[in-house]
């Protein structure tokens, strides 16, 4: 296949490019580099089966020749990024999705949308199933990301129903691994950065809030299986991907301190809960198991070991604030 990945120089987009190329497909990565980096795809530059185009997908997208799939991964994805770029986040979820869908329709290409567990908001149902409609504050600070993705899902389904476009929607739960930015504000790189600098790990509140952490290769495996699934109504409906192993932020901090040999311990920052920040998050992956035969295989310890090794040469002297 010939595949376009919007957000192709980002954390997930670059790993997806690696996987598609390894499977024999050719890849066009498109990114405006607002949060992505060419460092993530530097090892691919010069390959005959890989092309990079610097472009903002909120503007009209032109790609010459045939396309077999459009994978829409362009968007700021961490709280630090989408709080810094709220309007850009909304535009890429709305205009960017519209442009990417229009391109897929023109090329008669399969379309896969990278959505998020944030569409569930601060969930009142646990674990979160795809038929749960969420608890989202549309005007809260996190609403710019939540609503951008919820609109993107609605637009994707509208193209599927109105134009017969072959579409897929993946709701991505917390994922970590190599090529995350140390300063992107998410809890895994923040904790690892603090630990490698020998600083106490900063835990907000009492650390009882939970997340379910999926190593990047496990997520990419699920996305690839979804992309390759034959067209069906089941395939077009949203599907959760992630690791259902739930753990508290405090337990994660203890594990990272132990794995890095950090003697500085943990410091608790008493603060009001961040508006809209989910207290618990855990994917129900029953649909993915049934439809894709999907099951994460990389343990937290193994995934963290690889991620820690990646970050050892990238620690900085400043400590970013932490968001989950």
Give catalytic residue positions: 145
Nearest to 94 by CA among 151, 138, 142: 151
Rounded to a whole number of angstroms, the distance between the first and last alpha carbons of the chain is 35
The H-assigned helical ranges of 237-312 are 249-260, 286-292, 300-311
Distance CA 158, CA 224 (A): 23
Q: Which two tokens stand for residue 275?
A: 């508006």
Please choose, from the candidates 139, 89, 92, 143, the residue with its C-alpha nearest in 3D space to the C-alpha of residue 121: 143
Query: Going by DSSP bridges, is the β-strand pair 175-176/201-204 parallel, antiparallel, or unpaired?
Result: unpaired
| Region for residue 116 given its phi and psi (left: phi exceeds 0; alpha: psi -120 to 50; beta: otherwise) | beta
């Amino acid at each position: 296949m010939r595949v376009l990945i919007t957000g192709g120089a980002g954390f997930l987009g670059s790993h997806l490019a690696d996987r598609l190329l390894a499977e024999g497909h050719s890849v066009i990565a498109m990114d405006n580099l607002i949060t992505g980096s060419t460092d993530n795809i530097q090892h691919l530059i010069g390959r005959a089966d890989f092309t990079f185009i610097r472009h903002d997908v909120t503007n009209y997208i032109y790609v010459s020749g045939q396309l077999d799939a459009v994978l829409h991964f362009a968007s700021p994805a961490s709280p630090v990024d989408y709080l810094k770029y709220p309007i850009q986040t909304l535009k890429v979820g709305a205009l960017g999705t519209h442009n990417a869908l229009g391109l897929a329709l023109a090329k008669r290409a399969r379309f896969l949308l990278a959505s998020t567990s944030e569409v569930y908001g601060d969930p009142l149902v646990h674990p979160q199933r795809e038929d749960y409609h969420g608890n989202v504050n549309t005007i809260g600070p996190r609403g710019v990301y939540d609503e951008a993705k919820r609109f993107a899902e609605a637009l994707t389904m509208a193209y599927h129903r109105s134009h017969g476009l072959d579409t897929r929607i993946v709701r991505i739960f917390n994922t970590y691994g190599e090529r995350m930015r140390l300063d992107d504000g998410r809890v895994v790189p923040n904790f690892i950065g603090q630990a490698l600098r020998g600083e106490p790990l900063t835990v907000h509140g009492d650390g009882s809030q939970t997340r379910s952490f999926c190593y990047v290769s496990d997520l990419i495996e699920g996305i690839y299986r979804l992309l390759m699934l034959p067209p069906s109504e089941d395939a077009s409906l949203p599907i959760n991907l992630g690791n259902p192993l739930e753990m508290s932020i405090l337990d994660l901090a203890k594990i990272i301190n132990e794995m890095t040999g950090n003697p500085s311990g943990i410091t608790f920052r008493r603060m009001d809960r961040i508006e809209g920040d989910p207290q618990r998050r855990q994917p129900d992956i029953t649909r993915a198991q049934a439809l894709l035969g999907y099951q994460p295989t990389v343990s937290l310890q193994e995934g963290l070991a690889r991620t820690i090794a990646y970050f050892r040469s990238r620690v900085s002297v400043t400590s970013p604030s932490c968001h989950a």
